[in-house]
Amino acid sequence: MQRDLDAAASQLRDAQDILIISHIDADGISAGAVADITAERLGKTHEVRFEKKISEETVEAINSSEQSLVWICDLGSGYLSEFTRDGIIVTDHHVPDPRWRRKQTVLDSFTGITHLNPHVYGMDGSYEVCGAGMTYLLSKAVDPSNVDLAYLAVVGAVGDFQDSGHSGLVSLNRVIVDDASANGDLVVDHDLRFFGRETRPINQYLQFSSDPQIPGLSDNASGCLQFLDSMGIRGKDGGRWRVWNDLSSEERERATERILELVGPEQESRAFGEMYSFPNMPRGTGLRDAKEFATVLNSCGRYEDAETGLRICRGDMSALKDAERNRAEHRRHISSAMSYIKDNHLLRERRFIQWFDAGSEIKETVVGIVAGMVLSSGECARNIPIIAFADSDDGTKVSARADRRLVDRGLDLSSVMKTAAELVGGYGGGHTVAAGATIPPDKKEQFLDIVEDLVSSQVE
Ligand code: C5P
Ligand code: ZN
C-alpha cells in the first residue's frame, strides 16, 4: 500500500490541475476536505465537487473533465470499469467493482487508474479504514506535515460507524488516531458511547440513548429526570441545561456505573468504549466530539449543502451558523421520518428481510440513516436486514442495513444490492453492513424477492 500511495503522491505532484470528486456524507466531506487542503498546499489549481453517488452523469463528468488529474474520494471503487480516461486516483473503501482488474490490459485498458482501497490489500473497508482515511494516507504520503489533517479522517471513520464493532477504532484507523493524538488534535476518552456528549442537554442525552437502549431511560423523559434526581446530579446550571461533558468526573463515574448496570453485562461492551474528542475545537459547537462533528457534516451534505461542511473542515467557523440551521433541519426531518414509519406501521416483515417504503416522505439521502436507526431502535428484529425505499429523481433509491453479527455469518449487503439491482435494471453497491441501490420504481416487489433469496443463501 505504501508503494502505491507513494506512486499516487508523485502523480499529484506532477498534475497540472486537479478535479476532486467526493461523496456527500460525513466521510465523503472529510475526505473531500483532506484532498482539497492537500491540493491547495501543493499549490495546484483545483476544484471540489460533491456527489450523492456515481451516476451516469458523474461518470461522464469524470471521463470528459478538462483537468489533468481526477481524484475521487469515498466513491468510485464500485464503478471502476466505467472510467475510460487516464489520470484517475481513487481513495475509497467501498467494495471494488469485480469487473475491474488492476493493470488490466488484455481486453480493456483501464491502466490509468490508481486504486487505493483497503480491499485491494486484504483489509476490510467497513471497519479498518474509511474513505477519508485512505485520502489522508495519500495526503501524508505527499507531505508528512499533513498529519494535522488526521483528525478529519477520524471524523470520517466515526461517521461511517467504523468504531461500532469494536467500540473504538482499530487497524489502520488506529494508526490515524495515533497520528492525530501525537499532533495534539485528538484525545481518546473512555466513556459511554451515546450520542451528544457535548451539545445535548443531559436529560435528552439519556432519553435519546440507543444502540444499546438503557432500560428505564431510553425514550422515557420522566425516567431520565428521576434518574438524575436519584443520583444527586443537577440537571441545570443557573437556568441552562448541563451536557454530559459538563458533569464532574466524579458525577460521570457514578452515573456511568449505574447506567452500565441498567444496560446489563451483555450490552456493556457496546455501551462503553472509546470516544474521540478534539480539544482544539470550541466548546458547545458539536465539533469537539467526533460523533457530533460527523453529524454536523451529515446534516450539511444530505441537505444539498456539502460546501458548508467543507468550510467547517477547513476551519472556517463562520460556517457554523449555516451548519446549525442544517442540523436543526436534519433533527426535524429524522424525527418526523421516524414517527411517519411508526405511526403508519410501514415496517413489513418477511422471513429473511424486513422493509419499508417511505415514498416521498423521507429524503433519499437520509433514508439510509433512518433505516439504520429503525434497526437499532429495539423495536424491530435485529437478526434480519432492513431494506428501505424512497423516491428519487432517477428511480427508487434503496438503502440496506444489517447488524454486524449477520455479516459474521456470511451476509454481504454490497453484493446483494449490486446483484439484485442489476437483475431489475438498476445499479448498486456499498459495504457488507450498509449498502444501497437505485432501481426502476415498478420493480420493488421483484427486487425484494431477489434480495430475500440472496440473503437467505448467504447467511448460515
Ligand atoms: O445511501 P446509503 O446511505 O444507504 O448508502 C449506503 C452505502 O452504499 C454508501 O456507502 C453508498 O456509497 C453505497 N451505495 C452505492 N451505490 C448506490 C447506493 C449506495 O455504492 N447506488
Ligand atoms: Zn465512506
Segments making up each domain of the chain, as ranges: 2-184, 190-333, 344-458
Q: Is the CB of 309 under 6 A from ligand 1?
A: no
Backbone angles phi, psi at 215, to 5 degrees: -55, 130
| The C-alpha cell that represents 381 in the structure block | 428484529
**Smallest CA separation from ligand 1 atom 2, residue:** 368
Over residues 422-448, mean pLDDT = 95
For the segment 369-387, the average pLDDT, to the nearest whole number, is 93
Cα separation, 260 vs 186, in Å, equals: 26
Q: Which ligand places an atom closest to the C-alpha of 367?
A: 1
Local structure of residue 289 (DSSP, 8 states): B
| pLDDT score at 14 | 97
- Residue 435 Cα to ligand 1 middle (Å): 5
State how far the Cα of 421 lies from the Cα of 294, in Å rounded to an integer. Answer: 29
Give, using CA atoms, the residue closest to atom 6 of ligand 1.
435
Q: What is the phi/psi pair of residue 20, to 5°?
A: -105, 125
Please compute the mean of the pLDDT values over residues 172-181 and round it to a whole number.
98
Q: How confident is the model at residue 32 (pLDDT cuts 50, 70, 90)?
A: very high
d(CA 28, ligand 2 centre) in Å:
6
Given the candidates 3.30.870.10, 3.40.50.300, 3.10.310.40, 3.90.190.10, the CATH classification of the domain at 344-458 is 3.10.310.40
Q: Give the three-class secondary structure for 40.
A: helix
Q: What is the pLDDT of residue 97?
A: 81
Residue 97 CA to its chain's centroid (Å): 20
Mean pLDDT value of segment 392-411: 94
Ligand 1 in contact with 437 (CB < 6 A)? yes
Residue showing cell 494516507: 137
Mean pLDDT within 380-397 = 95
Ligand 1 atom closest to the Cα of residue 429 is 20
Q: At residue 39, does pLDDT exceed 90?
A: yes
Q: What is the pLDDT of residue 210?
A: 86
Report whether pLDDT(91) > 80: yes
CA 119: distance to chain centroid? 17
Q: Which ligand is the nearest neighbour of the Cα of 76?
A: 1
Query: What is the distance between the alpha carbons of residues 327 and 409, in angstroms, rounded to a whole number?
Result: 36
Q: What is the pLDDT of residue 125?
A: 95
Per-residue pLDDT, 81: 86
Query: Counting ligands in written order, which one lies closest to the CA of residue 31?
Result: 2
Q: How far apart are CA 152 and CA 11, in angstroms?
A: 23
Q: Is the pLDDT at 98 greater than 80, yes or no? A: no
- In angstroms, rounded to a whole number, what is the distance separating the alpha carbons of residues 1 and 125? 14
Distance between CA atoms of residues 360 and 184, nearest Å: 45
* pLDDT mean across residues, the chain: 94
Taking the centre of ligand 2 as the mean of its atom positions, its distance from the CA of residue 379, in whole angstroms, is 27
Q: What is the pLDDT of residue 336?
A: 96
CATH number, span 2-184 = 3.90.1640.30
Contact 162, 173 (CB under 8 A): yes
Q: Can you tell me whether residue 196 is helix, strand or coil?
A: coil
**Among 275, 270, 280, which residue's Cα sits nearest to residue 188?**
275
Residue 107: pLDDT band with limits 50, 70, 90: very low
Share of the chain above pLDDT 70, in %: 97
Backbone angles phi, psi at 141, to 5 degrees: -70, -30
* Burial zone of 296 (CB within 10 Å; 0-12 exposed, 13-18 middle, 19+ buried): buried
Decide whether 2-184 matches 344-458 in CATH topology.
Answer: no
pLDDT at 110 over 60: no
Confidence of residue 106 (pLDDT cuts 50, 70, 90): very low
Q: Is the pLDDT of residue 247 over 80?
A: yes
pLDDT band of residue 111 (cuts 50, 70, 90) is low
Distance from C-alpha of 36 to C-alpha of 15, rounded to nearest angstrom = 14
8-17, 107-116, 244-253 — which is least confidently predicted? 107-116
Q: Is the CB of 376 under 6 A from ligand 1?
A: no
User: Looking at the predicted structure, is the pLDDT value of residue 109 above 70?
Assistant: no
Please name the residue whose Cα sits nearest to atom 3 of ligand 1: 368
Ligand 1: distance of its center to the CA of 436 in Å? Answer: 4
The rounded distance, in Å, linking the Cα atoms of 398 and 427 is 10
Q: Cα separation of 227 and 432, whole Å?
A: 38
pLDDT value at 86 more than 70? yes
Provide the pLDDT confidence category of residue 377 given band limits of 50, 70 and 90.
Answer: confident
* Ligand 2 center from residue 131 Cα (angstroms): 5
How far apart are the C-alpha atoms of 411 and 417, rounded to whole Å? 11
Q: Which of 82-86, 175-179, 282-286, 406-410 has the highest mean pLDDT?
A: 175-179
Question: What separation, in Å, do the N-terminal and C-terminal C-alpha atoms of the chain show?
Answer: 33
Measure the CA dihedral 252/253/258/260, to 10°. Answer: 100
Give dist(CA 337, CA 322) in Å, integer. Answer: 22
Mutate to test the pocket of ligand 1, among 77, 369, 431, 439 (most ligand atoms within 8 A of CB): 431
Which band of pLDDT confidence, cut at 50, 70 and 90, is reported for residue 100?
A: low
301 alpha carbon to ligand 1 midpoint, in Å?
Answer: 14
213: cell is 437502549
Q: Does the pLDDT value for residue 112 go beyond 90? A: no
Predicted confidence at residue 257, as pLDDT, reads 98
Nearest to 320 by CA among 289, 276, 284: 284
pLDDT score of 180 more than 70: yes
Q: Is 412 exposed, middle or buried (0-12, 13-18, 19+ CB in 10 A)?
A: buried
User: Which ligand places an atom closest to the C-alpha of 364?
Assistant: 1
* Angle at the Cα of 206 from the Cα atoms of 216 and 340, rounded to 5 degrees: 85
Q: How confident is the model at residue 355 (pLDDT cuts 50, 70, 90)?
A: very high
pLDDT at 103 over 70: no
Beta bridge mates, 428: 437
Give CA–CA dist 40/47, Å, rounded. Answer: 10
Closest CA to 138 of 29, 31, 14, 21: 31
